């Protein structure tokens, strides 16, 4: 598109409408209608968590991109902390639907900001226009992922790791409920989120060169998983909180390096598609992880922690083996 911010603005508006529609329709409309509204809203998600980030190279100088992606990851961490907290407070003091409506207002405000961005229209591509069918054009993004070994490996590894991240809220709830009291689940997740914010700040302050970004992603995945698995070996609350925080600390650098890897490895013409596909796959993997965590919520909590930590460790380890640790380091 010549003006891609229009698409991201419409996606944010669609996401806001989905939240508002769900809050007002749940309990009043047939469940199938509510699910349809959620499906439409979910289709808007990759535009906000992927395509929007793909527009950064057109807004900043190339030398500032690593830091810009760090700031981008930082906003995700801040929103990940403030969004659920705001919704929980509003749900407790007003109603659950009030919390969802407040988040819908936030998304609509973001849509307005995106629509007003002073982004110059893209110039048409040089040379004769490329004519493809719709299906071929849609599959071109998958082709770009397949052609880059680094991009395919990093994308696959982060998706596998998200199975553990998706299960983590369920595991934290079971862990807190069985050992410390249900209210401590929020503390465990808040510790991981706050540490992720610190990790994003560290990446923004001292980002690595783009050539090392894939290595940071894969080693960071291992760093995210090992503390969670180690939490299965102790029941001391301060130690468990510290291990959750240590796991979260790696999230910021992993995300910043992931965005940088996508930008470096994706063909310019297919960059937005690669970002959108990666974001959509991560969202799906997160949902699958939550489903797996819920299905296994009856097994011993230690086994749940090991499983949640094993996914990112396995993903990072296999990714390093596929790329070759030495070549990735170079």
Residues 177 and 288 in one domain: yes
Confidence check: pLDDT of 329 > 80: no
Apex CA 9: angle with CA 6 and CA 14, to 5°? 125
The confidence score (pLDDT) of residue 124 equals: 55
Measuring CA to CA, how many Å separate 269 from each of 119, 126, 130, 275? 18, 12, 11, 12
Residues counted in the chain: 330
192 falls within a domain: yes
Whether residue 92 is found in the same domain as residue 6: yes
106 vs 140 pLDDT, higher one:
106
In sequence order, the 6+-apart residues with CB closer than 8 A to the CB of 17 are 41, 104
- Tokens at residue 148, please? 């880059």
Give the pLDDT confidence of 259-285 residue by residue, as tens digits: 999 988 888 888 888 888 888 899 899
**One domain, residues 187 and 325:** yes
What pTM does this model have? 0.84
55-56-61 Cα angle (round to 5): 130
Distance CA 124, CA 313 (A): 44
Tell me, yes or no, whether 110 and 244 share the same domain: no
**Do 73 and 168 have their domain in common?**
no
Which tens digit of pLDDT belongs to each residue from 205-263? Answer: 888 888 899 999 999 999 999 999 999 999 999 999 999 999 999 998 999 999 999 98
- Could you tell me if residue 133 is inside a domain? no
Q: Which residue range forms the structural domain that includes residue 33?
A: 1-115
193/255 same-domain check = yes
From 99, 115, 131, the end of a domain falls on 115
Tokens 């880059």 label which residue? 148
Q: Each residue of 111-151: pLDDT tens digit?
A: 999 888 776 665 555 555 556 677 777 788 788 888 889 99
Tell me what pLDDT residue 99 has.
84
Total number of domains constituting the chain: 2
Share of the chain above pLDDT 70, in %: 94
Q: Is residue 140 part of a domain?
A: no
CA distance 77 to 252: 8
What average pLDDT does the chain have? 87
- CATH number where 150 lies: 1.20.1250.20
């Amino acid at each position: 598109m010549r003006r891609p911010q229009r698409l991201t603005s419409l996606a944010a508006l669609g996401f806001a409408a989905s939240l508002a529609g769900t809050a007002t329709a749940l309990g009043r409309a047939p469940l199938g209608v509510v699910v349809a509204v959620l499906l439409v809203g979910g289709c808007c998600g990759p535009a906000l968590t992927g395509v929007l980030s793909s527009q950064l190279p057109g807004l900043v100088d190339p030398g500032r991109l690593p830091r810009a992606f760090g700031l981008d990851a930082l906003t995700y961490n801040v929103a990940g902390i403030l969004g659920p907290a705001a919704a929980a407070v509003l749900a407790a003091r007003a109603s659950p639907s009030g919390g969802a409506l407040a988040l819908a207002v936030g998304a609509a405000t973001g849509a307005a900001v995106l629509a007003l961005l002073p982004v110059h229209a893209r110039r048409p591509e040089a040379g004769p226009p490329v004519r493809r069918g719709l299906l071929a054009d849609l599959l071109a993004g998958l082709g770009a992922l397949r052609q880059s070994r680094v991009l395919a490996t990093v994308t696959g590894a982060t998706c596998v790791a998200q199975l553990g991240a998706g299960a983590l809220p369920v595991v934290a709830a079971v862990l807190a409920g069985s050992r410390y009291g249900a209210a401590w689940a929020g503390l465990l997740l808040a510790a991981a989120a706050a540490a992720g914010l610190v990790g994003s700040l560290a990446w923004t302050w001292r980002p690595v060169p783009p050539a090392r970004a894939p290595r940071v992603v894969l080693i960071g995945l291992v760093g995210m998983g090992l503390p969670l698995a180690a939490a299965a070996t102790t029941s001391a609350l301060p130690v468990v909180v510290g291990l959750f925080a240590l796991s979260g600390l790696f999230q910021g650098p992993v995300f910043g390096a992931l965005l940088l890897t996508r930008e470096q490895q994706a063909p310019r013409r297919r960059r937005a598609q690669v970002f959108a596909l990666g974001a959509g796959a991560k969202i799906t993997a997160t949902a699958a992880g939550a489903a797996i965590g819920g299905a296994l919520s009856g097994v011993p909590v230690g086994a749940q922690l090991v499983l949640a930590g094993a996914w990112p460790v396995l993903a990072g380890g296999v990714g390093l083996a596929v790329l070759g640790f030495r070549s990735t380091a170079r």
